[in-house]
């Protein structure tokens, strides 16, 4: 009865291969979603310059204070 069935499963081996590929694709996407972004974000620590840029962008400090602090950071890098 099922041996001659050539409907939705696209034949004997092809259907199983397509389901396996679909399963692997779903697993890859799941792992990428859970681990991909989090691990890359955790591995990179913010530098003083990153924090300064964020504070300026959020409006916490004005342009004059930003430039003064940036100048201090650049001087420290030279030492």
Shared-domain flag, residues 55 and 35: no
Instruction: Tell me the whole-structure pTM to 2 decimals.
Output: 0.45
Q: How many domains does the chain have?
A: 2
Shared-domain flag, residues 4 and 26: yes
Cα separations in angstroms, 42 against 47, 57, 77: 13, 22, 24
Shared-domain flag, residues 10 and 37: yes
Shared-domain flag, residues 74 and 39: no
Please give the pLDDT value at position 75.
87
Is the pLDDT score of 23 beyond 90? yes
Shared-domain flag, residues 39 and 60: no
Shared-domain flag, residues 66 and 37: no
Shared-domain flag, residues 13 and 34: yes
Is the pLDDT score of 7 beyond 60? no
Q: How many other C-beta atoms lie within 10 A of the C-beta of residue 15?
A: 14
Q: 56: domain range?
A: 45-79
CA distance 12 to 10: 7
Q: Strand, coil or helix: what is 5?
A: coil
């Amino acid at each position: 009865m099922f041996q001659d069935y050539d409907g939705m499963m696209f034949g004997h081996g092809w259907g199983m291969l397509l389901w396996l590929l679909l399963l692997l694709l779903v697993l890859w996407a799941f792992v990428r979603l859970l681990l991909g972004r989090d691990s890359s974000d955790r591995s990179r620590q913010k530098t003083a310059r990153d924090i300064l840029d964020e504070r300026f962008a959020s409006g916490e400090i004005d342009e004059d204070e930003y430039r003064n602090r940036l100048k201090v950071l650049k001087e420290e890098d030279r030492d």
